[in-house]
Chains A and B, each alone.
Chain A
Amino acid sequence: MGKRTADLVPGTLDLLILTALGDRTMHGYELIEEIWSASGELFRVDEGALYPALHRLEAKGCLASEWGVSQANRKAKYYRLTPRGKKELAGARSGWERLVLGMRRVMGEA
């Protein structure tokens, strides 16, 4: 398996979800697969952690959801970014980049 998100730096799950969703609409399972493939099979999102995070983001207003029918012809709840979510993503992204740059400098790399 890949890295379980429990081992990731906390807070990165939200960033992963927002980035992976991007401009698209996906349901929970799709999102897990997307992150798995986009990370080059490095991150396997803990299913127990994903849904609470999705609901938390929705409660915050970063995501909007609606029920639909998936490709497997099953009922599924689809999520997409709201304008607020997009702003949140931009902010989280720049925060992340700052963190990475700082860490690199401290650890003696470029």
Chain B
Amino acid sequence: MRTFWRRLFSRHAVERDIDEELASHLAHKRDALVRDGADSADADRQARVALGNSRVWREETRSAWSLVWLEGLIGDVRFGWRTLRKDRVFSLVSIATLALGFGATAAVFSLVNGLLLRSLPVHEADRLVEVHLTNLPPDVVQWVNGRKIAAREMRGAPYGTMLALAKEPAVAGVLGVAGNGQSAIEVNGRGMLALTTQVSGSFFETLRLVPAAGRFFTTADDVRGAPPGGWPVVISDGAWTRLFQRSPAAIGATIQIERQPVIVAGVAPASFHGINRGVDPEIYIPFHAMESFYGAFRWNDARRVPQIILRLTPGIAFESVRNEIAARSPLLLGASAAPETRSREQHLAQKIDVRRMSANSSGVGRTYGQALWLLLAAVGAVLLIAATNLTNLFLARTMQRSPEFAVRLALGAPASRVRRQVLIEVSLIATAGAALGALVAWQLPVFLVRLFSTPANSIYVDTTPDWTIAAFGAALLVACTFVAGWTPAMAGARANPNAALQSSRATRRVRGRAALIALQTALTLVLLAGTSLLASSLRELWRESTGMDSAPSTFHFADLYNAGVSRERMALAYGNILRQARELPGVSTAAWTMTIPMTGSMSAFQVTVTGKPSTLEMSNLTFWHQVSDGYFAAIGLPLVSGVDFPPAATGRKNICILSENAAVRLFGSARDAVGRFVNPGNLPPTEVIGVSRDAKYIHVREPAPPTIFTPYWNENVSPGMWLVVRDAAGASSASTNAAIQQLFRKEAGRMPHMRIETTETLRAALTAQERALTWLLGGLAGFALLISATGISGLLAYSIERQRKEIGVRLALGATPSSIRRRLTARAMTWVASGIALGTAAAWPLRNVLDSFLFRTSKSDAGVWLAALGALLAATAIAAFIPALRASRTNVLDALRVD
């Protein structure tokens, strides 16, 4: 067997062997003849004659060793390679076009795979389920990313219920996640930010993870009161690199999180990037550690854990667990007290619903999932356009080479052989394009993620290649080759040397190619329409008034707490900074606020009228702002009634200002509200001293939320306030900003971590996703338009070439060049017209796809469609221009000359 394979691959060895055997045979034959009496020269001749044609003999012997089909294939590939190399421009253009389409599609798919399809790299990830609450009390609403979500269900459950679930026999383990965010940390004296997440002590053991170094914290660590030495935390592999440069000294090192000492107990495995796709936490902190970070915070039975995941006991079916836990809901919920906004009956009436983990389990997946699928469809459409363009180009080439094919067919080559030749050439282009595209797909996902990721909201998607991506790429390659190669291959195999038949076939071929143009145009139109809709929506988002006036405000944040200002001194620090800031030359108004506008979220609680019976309704939910005096002037929000807060020095407490819609809801009108009292949450009765205009604090997409403003000195002054500054002359200058930062530094004693935003940057950040999507879709539409235009141009040139004589005759008979141009442009337009019809029909079932992204833009907005149509027609006119111009300038004699 070994000799077989060896001989297969070393042709020279085989041929040498055969030559020697031939020589040996002839020698023996000669000897025998000489023995029988012939003389040596005669014997030589007779021996050769007896053997027959040595060339044929050699060939037949050698062919016993060859795999004929393989050698045929290799020959075809070599031939195809040479042919393509001769036509370099064509090959390079095709490869480049395909590479872009292929790379973009594979890149987006790898994002889809990493964010939505992949399973978690933990033991038996399919045995993990998520806990939801259904049958919620009425009027529960949720705000996610500025969009109001129908709250028929809620993720997570109270802490007491989570502990009760851990004891269920069907449950092998429970873990809870209480959110993630940027925290100020200090490592080796260096202050920085890190992404932290609070998880239950059972987190790592439920996931059955093995530490890459050190150890994990356990349920035993997750109890009230820090263990001696400090809270144990776990860092991710990425954090180990970023914060500690992978030094082994990291294990057991003490770092500070929000000025609390914690000990790095261990490092998570390198392949683990958190339980929620899209977010890669750097530091995992046990639940009870939060009690040390935030003084007033306590874990009790009623506190809701936003995400609870159960590991099911092996061998138990999912459905039976689901039913069992749902049935035991009252018992499990009874282990926790009802939250303050609900009655006990409503609380116990809820049902615990366990669901399999899916793409919707992660917040990032929920936010971007739809956009990603949309993007995948768009890049797929562009790839299809590129592939059909390739079909057109190959058809043109095939028809150019049809004499060559016709000769081969006439010489007896089977049609399959000719088809194979064309398909091999298409495969070569497609493979080269795919290889180049794979390089694009390697780098592009990171770039795309960066488009959508912001420091406040950093996104991580695991795009390491896996079998799914490889399978997808292979399927794409096969599909591309098929789409691009099928029609040209069939056309080549039908090549006929009869020229008379050729011309009638040519008309059919032009029609066939025109059909492809129509398909390309249709897809391009859909992409253009989508882009146009998104662009219009984006413009509306920018133009939408927030209620705050248009002069820009600047927002300064300084992490005074982590810079050393204690909670007790905070009020004093705030007062000092405010006073000094107002004295700066570039500042006309300044104030403190807890919440800056358009960050997509705000705290809220119940506000009821003092003296009226309090009904626990979610409709009483009011959003809460803590501000200083002068806030409304600094942010550009006028008061419609009453007065602003007095300075902190007056010491007046238990006063508030309502937004107009809150005042109307509670008292009927803004004027009636002033002087009345309300109960904000658990606070004592508070007097309403003013009413402000409504403002869209959360998101421009949402109506203005009903808001209550309280002075920041009402309660324990919390760190983390923003200084709002406005300059009467316009936007704050750099010198003013530097001066304010100096104020912070002076107050804290050293440079605190600082952030600065303006109304512009906040607005831009809020629309970042829409903007990125519009640009992406626009880029794809532009690319599609370019490819379609080149396709139209090429087909028109071919059509003109076919009809050279006819054009010559027309010109000779007196037609003007401009009329020729008009005819040809009209022809191109008819091709595009059928494409437009097709595109409009295709867009109909897709009409609702973009709904969730659109803002104040109707799908039937005529302007949107006209813009898309206009772009398409303009591109067609340009594409048709050059061939038409050349045709109109045809030399009549040249055209009429016999071929």
Known contacts A48-B57, A51-B57, A61-B4; is A29 also within 8 Å of B25 by CB? yes
A13 within 8 A of B: no
With A61-B1, A75-B20: A56-B28 Cβ-Cβ less than 8 Å: no
Given A56-B64, A59-B65, A51:B28 Cβ within 8 A: no
Residue numbers in B under 8 Å from A48 (CB-CB): 51-53, 56-57, 60
A52 touches B24 (CB 8 A): no
A52 and B57 form a contact (CB under 8 A): yes
Q: Mark A21-62, 1 if CB is under 8 A from B, else 0.
A: 000000111100000000000000011100110011011010
Let me know if B858 is at the binding interface, CB within 8 A.
no
Contact B60–A28 (Cβ < 8 Å):
no
Bound CA span A77–B16, Å = 13
Residues of B within 8 A of A30 (CB): 28
Task: Please measure, in the bound complex, the distance between the C-alpha atom of A48 and the C-alpha atom of B25, giving whole angstroms.
Answer: 11
Is A70 an interface residue, CB under 8 A from the partner? Answer: yes
> Smallest CB–CB gap between A61 and chain B, Å?
7
Compute how far the CA of A74 lies from the CA of B31 in the bound complex, rounded to whole angstroms.
Answer: 10
Which listed residue, B1, B3, B25, B31, touches A47 by the CB 8 Å rule?
B25
> Taking the complex as formed, is B93 at the interface, i.e. its CB lies under 8 A from any CB of chain A?
no
Residue in A30, A51, A61, A64 whose Cβ sees the most chain B Cβ within 10 Å: A51
- Whether B51 pairs with A47 at a CB distance below 8 angstroms is yes
Q: In the bound complex, do residue B65 and residue A76 qualify as a contact, i.e. CB atoms below 8 Å apart?
A: no
Chain A min CB distance to B90 (Å): 41
Contacts of A9 in B (CB 8 A): none
B459 → A minimal CB distance (Å) = 59
What does the 1/0 interface line of B9-28 toward A look like (CB < 8 Å)? 00000000110111011011
B60 A47 Cβ-Cβ under 8 A: no
In this assembly, does B61 line the interface, its C-beta being within 8 Å of a C-beta of chain A? Answer: yes
Given the interface pairs A51-B57, A52-B60, A55-B65, the reply to whether A74 lies near B51 with Cβ below 8 Å is no
- Chain B neighbourhood of A77, CB < 8 A: 17, 20-21, 24
Picked from A27, A46, A59, A64, the residue with its CB within 8 Å of the CB of B24 is A27
With a cutoff of 8 Å between Cβ atoms, the chain A residues found around residue B1 in the complex are: 61
A107 close to B (CB within 8 Å): no
A51 to chain B, nearest CB (A): 5
A88 to B63, CA, bound (A): 21
Max chain B C-beta neighbours (<10 A), residue from A52, A58, A61, A74: A52
Give CA–CA (A56, B61) in the complex, Å: 8
How far is B2's CA from A65's CA once the two chains are assembled, in angstroms?
12
| CB interface residues, B 22-52, toward A, < 8 Å | 22, 24-25, 27-29, 31-32, 50-52
Residues of B within 8 A of A52 (CB): 57, 60-61, 63-64
A15 CB → nearest B CB, Å: 17
Chain A positions within 8 Å of B57 at CB level: 48, 51-52
A48 to B29, CA, bound (A): 13
Q: In the complex, how many residues of chain B place their beta carbon closer than 8 angstroms to a beta carbon of chain A?
A: 28
- A74–B4 CB distance below 8 A: no
Of A51, A56, A64, A67, which is within 8 A of B25 by CB? Answer: A51
| Chain A residues whose CB sits within 8 angstroms of the CB of B20 once the complex forms | 67, 75, 77
Chain A residues near B18: list those with CB within 8 A.
Answer: 51, 55
Nearest chain A CB to B246 CB, angstrom units: 56
**How long is the Cα–Cα vector from A29 to B27 in the complex, in angstroms?**
10
Chain A minimum-CB-distance residue to B67: A59
What chain B residues lie within 8 Å of A67 (beta carbons)?
20
The CA of A64 and the CA of B1, in the complex, are separated in Å by 10
Q: Shortest distance in angstroms between A71's beta carbon and chain B's nearest beta carbon?
A: 10
Q: Tell me the bound Cα distance from A28 to B3 in angstroms.
A: 19
A28 touches B21 (CB 8 A): yes
Closest to B1 in A: A61
Check B52–A74 contact: CB distance below 8 A: no
The residue in chain B whose Cβ has the minimal distance to the Cβ of A84 is: B1
Residue of B nearest to A74 (CB): B27
Residues of A within 8 A of B21 (CB): 28, 51, 77
User: How near does chain B come to A90, taking the closest CB pair, in angstroms?
Assistant: 21
Chain A residues contacting B24 (CB-CB under 8 Å) are 27-29, 70, 74-77
Chain A residues with Cβ under 8 A from B25's Cβ? 28-29, 47, 51
- What separation, in Å, do the CA atoms of A69 and B15 have in the docked complex? 20
Please name the residue on chain A nearest to B49 by beta carbon: A47
B635-691 interface (Cβ within 8 A of A): none
- Docked-complex contact B64 and A59, CB < 8 angstroms: yes
Closest A residue to B28 by beta carbon equals: A29
Cα(A67)–Cα(B31), bound, Å: 19
B53 to chain A, nearest CB (A): 8
A38 vs chain B, min Cβ distance (A): 17
Q: Please indicate the chain A residues that have their CB under 8 angstroms from the CB of B28 in the complex.
A: 27, 29-30, 70, 72, 74, 76
B-to-A contact residues, CB < 8 Å: 1, 3-4, 7, 17-18, 20-22, 24-25, 27-29, 31-32, 50-53, 56-57, 60-65
Sampled A-B contacts (30; CB under 8 Å)? A28-B21, A28-B25, A29-B24, A29-B29, A47-B52, A48-B53, A48-B56, A48-B60, A51-B21, A51-B22, A51-B25, A51-B61, A52-B60, A52-B61, A55-B65, A56-B64, A58-B64, A59-B7, A61-B1, A61-B4, A65-B3, A67-B20, A70-B28, A72-B27, A72-B31, A74-B24, A74-B31, A75-B24, A77-B21, A77-B24
**Extra inter-chain contacts (16) besides given A59-B65, A76-B28, CB under 8 Å:** A28-B25, A47-B25, A47-B52, A48-B52, A48-B57, A48-B60, A52-B57, A52-B64, A55-B64, A55-B65, A65-B3, A72-B27, A74-B28, A75-B24, A77-B20, A77-B21
**Nearest 10 pairs of A and B residues by beta carbon:** A55-B64, A48-B52, A29-B28, A56-B64, A52-B60, A52-B61, A76-B24, A47-B51, A51-B61, A77-B21
